[in-house]
Structure 1
Amino acid sequence: MYGYDDFGLYIGGAWGPSGGGRVKEVFDPATEEVLGTVPDATPEDLDRALASAERGFSVWRRVQPWERAAKLRKVADLIRERIEPYSKIMSAESGKPLAESRGEWGATADQFEWYAEETKRIYGQLIEGREPDVRLSVIYQPVGVVAALSAWNFPALLPARKVAAALGAGCSVVLKPAGETPATAMAIVQACADAGLPEGAVNLVTGNSSKISEHLIRSPIVRKVSLTGSVPVGKQILKLAAEGVKKVSMELGGHAPVLVFDDADVRQAAETSAATKFRNCGQVCISPSRFFVHERVYDEFADSFVAAVKKLKLGRFDQDGVNLGPLANQRGLDNAKALVEDAVDKGAELLAGGQQPAGFNRGYFFEPTVLGRTPDEARVMIDEPFGPVAPLTTFSDFDEVISRANGVPFGLAGYVFTKSLRMAAQASEALEVGMVGVNDMMLAAAEIPFGGVKESGMGREGGSLGIKDYLEPKYVKTRL
């Protein structure tokens, strides 16, 4: 339906090239071939986008909630109508199987539908005054122009969480998608345009990520920054935002512990864990990535986990039966190799995978890999793997496993498998994370607050809390 030639920079309600005429190539991670090119924005392009967003904010903030809601719901409807062509764009750019792309576009539409409803429910507050002729109230107003910086692993859902929430609050947006997956984000912007959003409410720029981020954040026009990315990038963005005292929310990844207690349904835990771990080739911020299994059930879990993993089929998204695609780039492939080599050198058992698959001469493919009895000092137990590498280890008691699970600077998600309500409650409360799944790993949904603690970030996306990060409370005292 759409290709790179249909898109470009989206500024002032129109697609166009970079003012400097420069472009960046986008590659298919399954073949390493060029899919197309996108504009490499100049500083002048960025200033045009900022000016457009400033004008757009002055218009959009005055659109009444019910009208804003109707337009956001129209965006959701258009995305659902276009799921098939949009999914092909996403799969070509990201490498993920078509079924995963369809699911992500459905979740993307849900974000716009959710915030269409939330925009009508931005409630203020009345406070009893101390004197009979005094009235105290709190109202919420949009924070202003938002710089939305997104990642490539969920190239539609991640931008949608930012764009839909910002628009629902009455803000305008300058969106910078990841260089690996720009056309997916461009498809969202096209849906916004087709839904009748006013000129300047949504803008999109592509090019050098670090230069664009710095330019946008240093601008006094931007009042809010929303980022999904790595911890190092998040720390740099936070420093830049601090110079202008800008409102910030960020989701910076995680290293999710999985606690499998000895009373769990072990086979169900293993099969659920394997299916979730290798979704999107393990490139998921809430991916289960450290498997702590009680020593009494470890062998059963490991056998079931490996059996499930061996059923996965690698390939390009348009090949029959494929449920595991390539990593997004060469960096990811090199990292997966290094993590496996380090773990094995430190004593881990290689239970499955561990190398690039035979017969794949091109593309960033890596076998789904399972490491057994992985020592805590292995890098894969310390650094976020963000790839198809699953380290298993054992534990013997509750306090021990909680201490080990909490022993990293990340705190996004955690998972618990047990039949005991007491154990589920105690483990959920003890894990230092923003989200916990008990006997379930599908956490993300439009209606829940998505986010973490510690170095996994700040703020929440989604749920009734998500829109708050794009609003500022204003207190008004009136004496009659």
Structure 2
Amino acid sequence: MDATAEYFDYYAGWARKYEGEVIQSDNPKENILLYRQPIGVVVGVCPWNFPFFVMARNVAPSLLTGCTIVLKPCSETPNTTFEFAKLISSIRLPKGMLNFVSGGGSSLGDALVRSPQVGLVTLTGSVDTGPRIISASAENITKTLLELGGKAPGIICADCAMDMAVKAVVDSRIIFSGQVSNCAERVYVEAEVYDEFMDKLLE
């Protein structure tokens, strides 16, 4: 909860930094004006393993940039998101800016992704779901942002704080039974500390 609140604070800070710019052109007597405008409707599809934090990662930047958002939490873990929805309903956010819906991915999720009214689809989910999202969103050439199964490495250098490194690798592997996209999937260890690392890891 605290990390999620910090995430909203972080994006609120960007509200003062969000601006266009004038870019120098290679052509004489020409300037390039870069300005930012909302994409439109964003569909955010969230995973079961970090439903609240990933919800914030979709909602905060969407609202900051003037986009409306339809957020679909995983149908297995919607409760924290809907508690948040109750809290949000008490502030004066313009009607329709932030919307929460719940249902299965193959029915509701598919309908959202295929909608011609959607400007951007974001998904944090499985590698199997990614191609289905791309295929469905391609009908309207809808922008997509996909965070699928990660293959993050742990890197153990000879000068590391070994106890801390071992704890980080172990914690990373067992959180949510290892079903998190940024868990350490493999570990690279400098040869000179390999035995020490392995002894502590196995212990």
Normalised by the length of structure 2, the TM-score is 0.88
Which residue in the other structure is 1:197 paired with? 93
Matched length:
201
Match of 1:279 among 175, 183, 186: 175
Residues 368-394 of structure 1 deviation map (CA, whole Å, 9 limit, x = unaligned):
xxxxxxxxxxxxxxxxxxxxxxxxxxx
2:84 paired residue among 172, 188, 210:
188
Residue 152 of structure 1: SS of its match in structure 2?
Answer: coil
C-alpha displacement at 1:293, in angstroms?
Answer: 3.0
Give 2:202's aligned residue: 306
Alpha-carbon displacement from aligned partner over 1:227-256 (angstroms, at most 9, x marks no partner):
101112112111221221111111112122
Give runs of aligned pairs for residues 314-353 of structure 1, distance below 5 A: none
Calculate the TM-score normalised by the size of structure 1: 0.39
Q: Which amino acid aligns with 1:170?
A: G
CA distance in 2, matches of 1:193, 1:119: 22
Unaligned runs of 5+ residues in structure 2 are none
| 206, 209, 215: which one aligns with 2:102 | 206
Match of 2:184 in 1: 288
The whole-number CA distance in structure 2 between the counterparts of 1:127 and 1:282 is 45
The 8 Å contact of residues 71 and 100 in structure 2, kept in 1 or not, is answered as yes
- CA distance change for structure 1 residues 194 and 138 in 2, over 3 Å: closer, same or farther? same
1:161 aligns with 2:57: yes
Residue 125 of structure 2 corresponds to 229
Q: Secondary structure at the match of 1:257?
A: strand
Unaligned runs of 5+ in 1: 1-104, 308-480
User: Secondary structure at 1:191's aligned position in 2?
Assistant: helix
The answer to whether the aligner puts 1:139 opposite 2:25 as a matched pair is no
2:162 is the alignment partner of 1:266: yes
Q: Is the 8 A contact 2:4 2:52 kept in 1?
A: yes
Contact 2:103/2:109 (CA < 8 Å) preserved in 1? no
How big is the shift at 1:282? 2.3
C-alpha displacement of 1:192: 2.3
* 2:6 is aligned with 1:113: no
Deviations 1:436-463 (A, max 9, x none): xxxxxxxxxxxxxxxxxxxxxxxxxxxx
Distance 1:160 1:189 in 2: 11
What secondary structure does 1:286 align onto? Answer: coil
* CA apart distance, 1:266: 2.9
Offset, 1:127: 4.2
| 1:178 aligned counterpart, secondary structure | coil
**Cα distance, 1:295–1:211 mapped onto 2, change above 3 Å:** same
Deviation, 1:194, is: 2.1
SS of equivalent to 1:142 = coil
Structure 1 position 296, deviation (Å): 4.1
1:248 alignment counterpart: 144
In our comparison, the structure showing a higher alpha carbon Rg is 1
Distance 1:180 1:145, change over 3 A: same
Which letter maps to 2:14?
E
Q: Matched residues, percent identical?
A: 37
For 1:120, the aligned partner's letter is: R
Structure 1 residues 252 and 128: alpha-carbon distance in aligned structure 2, compared to 1, 3 A threshold? closer
The 1:212–1:263 alpha-carbon spacing in structure 2 relative to 1, beyond 3 Å, is same
